[in-house]
Structure 1
Amino acid sequence: MKSTFLFALFVLFLAASEAATDYPTNPPTTPPTPAPTSTPLPSSAASPELVAQLLNAPSELDRIKLLKDNQFVFDFKNSKLGVTQGTGGKTVATSRTNFPAVIGHNVAMTVGFIEACGINLPHTHPRATEINFIASGKFEAGFFLENQAKFIGHTLEAGMATVFPQGAIHFEINMNCEPAMFVAAFNNEDPGVQTTASSFFGLPADVVGVSLNISSIQTVEDLGKHLPQNPAVAMQACMKRCGFSD
């Protein structure tokens, strides 16, 4: 009798479990969260008025209220803003105007898409230290900080990073036969960039001439006319090794 009763309870338990599975007695009352939809990213720079408002906002909460959702995303692959294009590839940099969400956070970023045998020419960032991460490929990189300092050079492969101190002249060369990419982060939303050669030749020609021990101003001016756009094509030895030149 007892065993029959226990068996009946077991059958009822199974039936109840099956019913609960097929016909839930407590259906969810909250609809599922809809999947996010893609929002077109800004195609133009932020206005000077918006930048001024963000810089002068009394609090971070007030600053965030001034921005649209899509202004918190920057598309390095497809952006037409912040692009520097040369024969050796391109760099894409955020700034206060093309990525206003960085304002007030002391951060900025540049991504370098460097072609085979390309070089990100020697340059400095007057207002920021840079940490440079190699996303793909391999780079020869180095910096020179100041007079009497030693040159620091590295071979950096994908997954490695290095630091370029604020104000140090530095460069990255892709000495390989395939494109490579680096990601550079800065501790200032307005790091600035000064390409060393073009800035130097932007000085008065006689000053440049004395610095190079060249007496002819015409020679100095001719040299200045042949400076490449950044990023440039690197050493001819790399081009020849990769079969890009005779």
Structure 2
Amino acid sequence: MQFRQCISSVVAAAVFAHCSMAAPLGGPDDSTHTPTPTGSLPTTATRAAAATSTLSPLLEGLSKTQQILLSDTRVDVYNNVLTEDEDFIFDFGARRADSGTGAADIIAANRKTFPALTNQGIGMAVGFMGPCQFNLPHVHNRATELLIVTQGELVSEMVIENGVEEDGVIRNIKNELGPYQMTLFFQGSIHSQYNPGCEEVIFVAPQSNEDFGTNQVAKNLFGLDNEILRAAFGNSIDGAEVDKFRGLVSDSVARGVEQCLLKCNIQKRKAPLLQLLSRLLNNDDAAAAEEENALLAAGGSPIPQKIWQIFFTRPGFPSIQHHVHDWLRQAPNYTYTLLGSQTADAFVRTHYGDGERGAGRRDIVRAYRAAQNPALKSDLLRYLVLLVEGGVYGDVDTTPVAELGNWVPAERRPDVRLVVAVEHDELFNSGSEYGYPVQFSQWTIAAAPGHPVVADMVERAMAGLRDLVAAHNVTLGQLVRLPNYDVVNATGPIAWTEAVMRGIGAIDPEMTHPSNLSGLNRIRYFGDIMVLPIEGFMANMQRVGSGEDHFGLVTHDFRGAWKGE
């Protein structure tokens, strides 16, 4: 009974207190209650007049967010800080226009940019992503994010945490999102998005914290001390090279997706691999550099006098001996190297591994060693060899019909650092394995070491291998038998054509697509790139013998040593 009386007394006191606040009983404080006129809504002016307190002098000069955090009550916030109706509007469109960064913006509404969110436990970002652009891998330190696409198509990726794996491989949750589809990124997960198309993508991303924070993974990794980075990367990067890495990392949205770049006529930045190899290519061998300078001064070529061929043993394949003899006959002063399985493995480990002369690209070494499809392996290897050593690469079923030293006209010899030839032009030939109306062959390539197009191609080939693994949902080692188109698209002529066109487009912006070279009937030069017509590396011997073929340098038997069948 006493307990019930006690509770009743408490309830009565609470009701009385509530009624006292809701309807003042009179006295000195009556003047603080200003009724709203009948039939009208309260306005900013009437709310200001109704305010019972003013902003403390201690809060003056602080930001609105700071004032809110230091206010005694939420009533004080609305009466003294958020006093204008406009305080409750955030205009993403206007913020984007004010940023001045064009077609690649992530606009964030957080408690700093939109103080009304303070202490509300929610934030928002709206992304405007141009063609082929990345939102680089990042982490939100204090929030889980929902992402809803409102325009275009977006590819999202997320790595959650250590231990989330499939068959011992870190799980990458990858999805393609269309309009009004949604995904989520957990707090602390590494995630990114990219636009694979040529139209702008817009997405809306609510966050579970008004101060969600963003940690750009690549940029902030290289904010660590150099000693730590050297340990993380196997002691293969010295301090100067770490500084180069810092300069290569962009702050927000980066261009990417190689096929999309070509489709949308967007130029790619210089490949980071070239920066990794710069010490090896330029500084370690002063004697070689001095020899090249002397050669150039005498009217020679920066393309080294080296011949490279690849042959992974294939039972039943015809002898390649006569082809080798033909190469040596047309290049008496050149060194000749035939790379087999063991020598190729050693080359890749030496030049791209963690050793003294290595580039520290473990991903390249792992991919090369894991690849079991001979075509993929051979494609990647030729680019890796030419990037480091330079020289002339030719498939083992090719035969030179002109002396190698005369491939480049004498007057152009000191300036040409890459020689390529058309392999396909829809005006003359057709086939299902072609991805573009004009394509370049990669059964023969001549290049100076460190050429940017070759460096770009290495990265393009690595991306192609990753795409194949994802498309077939297997490991790289399980990609043994593949349709020809998969090979030529991932690492072969389609991919090579894209890399060459990016190099050409960087010199001549009007060269936006391979079809710009359709019907080529003469040698074209784009900076240090020499482009031969279709006869160049696919010579017609009858026309060569009669003097009608003025461009034929190599014949090709098309025996497909790379197929491994």
- 1:104 is displaced (CA, Å) by 1.7
CA distance in 1, matches of 2:245, 2:177: 32
Aligned residue runs from structure 1 range 84-233, under 5 A? 85=101, 89-149=104-164, 150-213=171-234, 214-233=236-255
CA distance in 1, matches of 2:200, 2:231: 39
In structure 1, what is the equivalent of residue 85 of structure 2? 69
Out of 252, 256, 275, the position equivalent to 1:234 is: 256
CA distance in 2, matches of 1:83, 1:166: 27
- 1:236 is displaced (CA, Å) by 2.5
Residue by residue, what CA displacement relative to the aligned partner does 1:107-133 show, whole Å, maximum 9, x if unpaired?
Answer: 111111000101111000001110111
Residue by residue, what CA displacement relative to the aligned partner does 1:38-65 show, whole Å, maximum 9, x if unpaired?
Answer: xxxxxxxxx6343222113333332222
Which is helix-richer, 1 or 2? 2
Mark the runs of 5 or more structure 2 residues left unpaired by the alignment: 1-37, 42-60, 165-170, 268-500, 502-565
How well do the aligned residues superpose, as a CA RMSD in angstroms? 2.4
Question: Equivalent pairs: percent with the same residue?
Answer: 29
In structure 1, what is the equivalent of residue 95 of structure 2? 79
| TM-score in terms of structure 1 length | 0.75
Residue by residue, what CA displacement relative to the aligned partner does 1:76-107 show, whole Å, maximum 9, x if unpaired?
Answer: 01116995948x61111112222111012111
CA distance in 1, matches of 2:264, 2:137: 23
Residue by residue, what CA displacement relative to the aligned partner does 1:147-193 show, whole Å, maximum 9, x if unpaired?
Answer: 12122111111101111000101001000110101111111110000
CA gap 1:175/1:48 in 2 versus in 1, 3 angstroms = farther
Letter in 2 for 1:130: E
CA gap 1:164/1:125 in 2 versus in 1, 3 angstroms = same
CA distance in 2, matches of 1:84, 1:196: 25
- 1:216 is displaced (CA, Å) by 1.7
Check the 8 A contact 1:85/1:230 in 2, yes or no. no
Residue by residue, what CA displacement relative to the aligned partner does 1:186-242 show, whole Å, maximum 9, x if unpaired?
Answer: 111100001100000111122112212224222222111111231111122211022
CA distance in 1, matches of 2:122, 2:203: 17
CA gap 1:107/1:84 in 2 versus in 1, 3 angstroms = farther
Where 1:79 maps in the other structure, the secondary structure is: helix
Where 2:91 maps in the other structure, the secondary structure is: coil
> Which one is further off, 135-144 or 92-101?
92-101
- 1:145 is displaced (CA, Å) by 1.3
CA gap 1:187/1:233 in 2 versus in 1, 3 angstroms = same
CA gap 1:92/1:83 in 2 versus in 1, 3 angstroms = farther
CA gap 1:132/1:70 in 2 versus in 1, 3 angstroms = same
In structure 1, what is the equivalent of residue 405 of structure 2? none
Check the 8 A contact 2:149/2:178 in 1, yes or no. yes
Check the 8 A contact 2:111/2:118 in 1, yes or no. yes
CA distance in 1, matches of 2:40, 2:118: 35
Letter in 2 for 1:110: A
Check the 8 A contact 2:96/2:105 in 1, yes or no. no
CA gap 1:54/1:146 in 2 versus in 1, 3 angstroms = same
CA gap 1:80/1:172 in 2 versus in 1, 3 angstroms = closer
| TM-score in terms of structure 2 length | 0.34
CA distance in 1, matches of 2:74, 2:100: 31
CA gap 1:82/1:61 in 2 versus in 1, 3 angstroms = farther
CA distance in 2, matches of 1:128, 1:84: 27
Letter in 1 for 2:195: N
CA distance in 1, matches of 2:215, 2:72: 32
CA gap 1:49/1:229 in 2 versus in 1, 3 angstroms = closer
Check the 8 A contact 2:159/2:189 in 1, yes or no. yes
Which is strand-richer, 1 or 2? 1
CA distance in 2, matches of 1:82, 1:165: 30
In structure 2, what is the equivalent of residue 12 of structure 1? none
Check the 8 A contact 1:127/1:192 in 2, yes or no. yes
Letter in 1 for 2:253: P
CA distance in 2, matches of 1:153, 1:128: 20
In structure 2, what is the equivalent of residue 53 of structure 1? 67
CA distance in 1, matches of 2:135, 2:144: 17
- 1:31 is displaced (CA, Å) by 9.6
Where 1:92 maps in the other structure, the secondary structure is: strand
> Which one is further off, 147-156 or 110-119?
147-156
Letter in 2 for 1:242: C
In structure 2, what is the equivalent of residue 37 of structure 1? none
Check the 8 A contact 2:219/2:251 in 1, yes or no. no
Check the 8 A contact 2:128/2:202 in 1, yes or no. yes
CA gap 1:122/1:151 in 2 versus in 1, 3 angstroms = same
CA distance in 2, matches of 1:132, 1:121: 15
* Higher RCO structure, 1 or 2 (CA under 8 Å, sep 6+): 1
